[in-house]
Chains A and B, each alone.
Chain A
């Protein structure tokens, strides 16, 4: 089922949580809403579910305006961070709940409900645990039950709110791969919220980066990582370093020296230069480069991460060096960013 969010605005007691957000989700897509806390990602998810009503705008499921429908009528599967299982029901009863509360002819017979629960338990790899109560399961198992319960009603959309947020790193990685498999097997249109960029980039077909109630960028993992379209996305996704620079006649200047990068399309004036610490070219001499003294250095996995103090104002930036690079304390290092991006200072957040 396609989902279209059209110019939605949401205010909580006049405090805007979402400003005019629009988003198209294709049928069968796996979408991640990524952002820091307070960015409005959970609010957007709850709006799609119908757990909140938009102040303005509408949400369409296919061609139907879902914002006119109640939560019960929307037929969405929602998975909560803290599972929200019914603790007085067995696993099988939890999964069958959505079918049991139906009325009249839409309610399948009890045998059918039981069969469906068993089938879903197989799908989430918890076969044989029908009779357990949620209190007798581990966190990861509970979340699988919650997912099975959400899928039992054959939802139009599957919505997951930080589904792995309460689990430890190991289980999380495992469930992440497993969710991808389930998605590929069932083909539900799925939207999940996360603040873990690794999770979003690894799992989702497209990532929606949000900040302060707005969508900053929508794109594939490659788009988001390699072509961030705002200082926020550059800073939020992956590692980044930034330096205040000046653009003059298509040349980038740091303090009173050109750094050997050309930006022919950039308007002259103050700007901020963003680059990835690992994507730098080390140079020997320095004519047209960035140079600084090493202020701190630490070993990170296969590389060495150094903090450089640049110029008279001692701006600190981080770059990565090969482990065998001779740069010790106080020595000078010169480099030039490989891939970089310039954002005019006036517009930056």
Chain B
């Protein structure tokens, strides 16, 4: 307890007295291979059939680049917004008792359950220039539907539960005494939140962010209704893949998919590293 364990390189975790280490590890690896690895390597293999020059030509194509930029950019903005407001929603749900709290709590999960197309159509109806909300925003010169802004809104809708549901349980574990201790030491409300509560929540918030972000990058159903899908402007990468598929241009489709895969993997890896670092620090 008083000395940090000396870690000498990589080592298998010592199996415990409970048997089943070999069996469970073997099963997990086989399962992951079947479900994730084989389909993904199929993807790489198909796009590899393209040859390096063709692949590169598709990768640096203006339309592809714009689609990727739209997808990752909107997903990032939506995830940031979700982190702020999702944490706030989690805070309200954890900290306060008010009539209807259970209903609000259940409502948070709706984006999980609702078919994404339904969400997309509903949001489009609301934010279209003649829709309830779109009508109010129009005079302010804000056009939401059929622009990247619309995509962001759809992704905020889709990603909210990821943040709330990852932050909420950690928030519930926060000891009230820690806040009281900070208060007796002279910290005001703002200092307690920024210096004591938030750092403790950071790992959960980062997880919520990466989940919402990953989901946003891959989202298709809700976005295509509200995006307007103008090439070079509001066309997302998953849509471009579908378009290529419909043109029977499978190599191009898989090439874009492979690029998305690589980018997503890279970003999730970075998030995971940040995660590990913060876990190590905060124990």
Contact of B177 (CB < 8 Å), options: A75, A80, A89, A138:
A80
User: Distance in Å from the Cβ of A167 to the closest Cβ of chain B?
Assistant: 14
- Other than the given A74-B184, A89-B199, 8 more pairs (CB < 8 A) read A51-B184, A72-B188, A82-B177, A84-B175, A86-B182, A87-B200, A101-B182, A149-B185
Does A136 lie within 8 Å of B185, measured CB to CB?
A: no
- Please report the C-alpha to C-alpha distance between residue A72 and residue B180 in the assembled complex, in whole angstroms: 10
Q: Mark B53-74, 1 if CB is under 8 A from A, else 0.
A: 0000000000000000000000
In this complex, what residue of B is CB-closest to A79?
B181
Q: A135-B283, A136-B283, A138-B2 are in contact. Are A80 and B180 (CB under 8 A)?
A: yes
User: Distance in Å from the Cβ of B173 to the closest Cβ of chain A?
Assistant: 11
In this complex, how many residues of chain B approach chain A with their Cβ under 8 Å: the count is 24
In this complex, what residue of A is CB-closest to B201?
A88
Q: A86-B196, A87-B200, A133-B282 are in contact. Are A97 and B178 (CB under 8 A)?
A: no
Does A138 lie within 8 Å of B283, measured CB to CB?
A: no
In order of increasing CB-CB distance, the 3 nearest A-B pairs are: A135-B283, A98-B185, A84-B177
Does B181 lie within 8 Å of A80, measured CB to CB?
A: yes
Interface positions of A from 225 to 272, Cβ below 8 Å from B? none
Does B199 lie within 8 Å of A98, measured CB to CB?
A: no
Contacts of B4 in A (CB 8 A): 136
Does A6 interact with chain B (Cβ within 8 Å)?
no
Q: List 28 A-B contacts (CB under 8 A).
A: A50-B184, A72-B183, A72-B186, A75-B186, A77-B184, A80-B181, A84-B177, A84-B181, A86-B178, A86-B181, A86-B182, A86-B199, A87-B200, A87-B282, A87-B283, A88-B202, A88-B281, A97-B195, A101-B185, A101-B186, A101-B187, A101-B188, A101-B191, A102-B186, A133-B282, A137-B2, A149-B185, A153-B185
Q: Mark B112-142, 1 if CB is under 8 A from A, else 0.
A: 0000000000000000000000000000000
Contact of A97 (CB < 8 Å), options: B182, B200, B283:
B182
Does B1 interact with chain A (Cβ within 8 Å)?
yes
Interface centre among A75, A97, A134, A149 (most CB of B within 10 A): A97
| Number of residue pairs A-B, CB distance < 8 angstroms | 83
Contacts of A51 in B (CB 8 A): 180, 183-184
Does B1 lie within 8 Å of A138, measured CB to CB?
A: yes
- Please report the C-alpha to C-alpha distance between residue A97 and residue B2 in the assembled complex, in whole angstroms: 23
Does A82 lie within 8 Å of B185, measured CB to CB?
A: no
Q: A78-B180, A133-B281 are in contact. Are A88 and B185 (CB under 8 A)?
A: no
Interface centre among B4, B175, B184 (most CB of A within 10 A): B184
User: Distance in Å from the Cβ of B182 to the closest Cβ of chain A?
Assistant: 7
Q: Which residues of B contact A (CB under 8 A)?
A: 1-2, 4, 175, 177-178, 180-188, 191, 195-196, 199-200, 202, 281-283
Does A49 interact with chain B (Cβ within 8 Å)?
yes
Interface positions of A from 86 to 115, Cβ below 8 Å from B? 86-89, 97-98, 101-102
Contact of B283 (CB < 8 Å), options: A74, A102, A133, A150:
A133
Does A71 interact with chain B (Cβ within 8 Å)?
yes
Does A3 interact with chain B (Cβ within 8 Å)?
no
Contacts of B200 in A (CB 8 A): 86-88
- Please report the C-alpha to C-alpha distance between residue A77 and residue B4 in the assembled complex, in whole angstroms: 31
- Please report the C-alpha to C-alpha distance between residue A98 and residue B185 in the assembled complex, in whole angstroms: 5
Does A290 interact with chain B (Cβ within 8 Å)?
no
In this complex, what residue of A is CB-closest to B278?
A88
- Please report the C-alpha to C-alpha distance between residue A101 and residue B179 in the assembled complex, in whole angstroms: 14
Q: A101-B191, A102-B186, A137-B2 are in contact. Are A84 and B283 (CB under 8 A)?
A: no
Does A191 interact with chain B (Cβ within 8 Å)?
no
- Please report the C-alpha to C-alpha distance between residue A51 and residue B185 in the assembled complex, in whole angstroms: 12
Contact of B1 (CB < 8 Å), options: A80, A84, A136, A152:
A136
Interface positions of A from 151 to 177, Cβ below 8 Å from B? 152-153
User: Distance in Å from the Cβ of A144 to the closest Cβ of chain B?
Assistant: 13
In this complex, what residue of A is CB-closest to B198?
A88
User: Distance in Å from the Cβ of B202 to the closest Cβ of chain A?
Assistant: 8
User: Distance in Å from the Cβ of A113 to the closest Cβ of chain B?
Assistant: 13
- Please report the C-alpha to C-alpha distance between residue A72 and residue B202 in the assembled complex, in whole angstroms: 26
In this complex, what residue of B is CB-closest to A97?
B185
Does A5 interact with chain B (Cβ within 8 Å)?
no
Contacts of B191 in A (CB 8 A): 101
- Please report the C-alpha to C-alpha distance between residue A74 and residue B186 in the assembled complex, in whole angstroms: 8
In this complex, what residue of B is CB-closest to A149?
B185
Does A215 interact with chain B (Cβ within 8 Å)?
no
Contacts of B187 in A (CB 8 A): 72, 97-98, 101
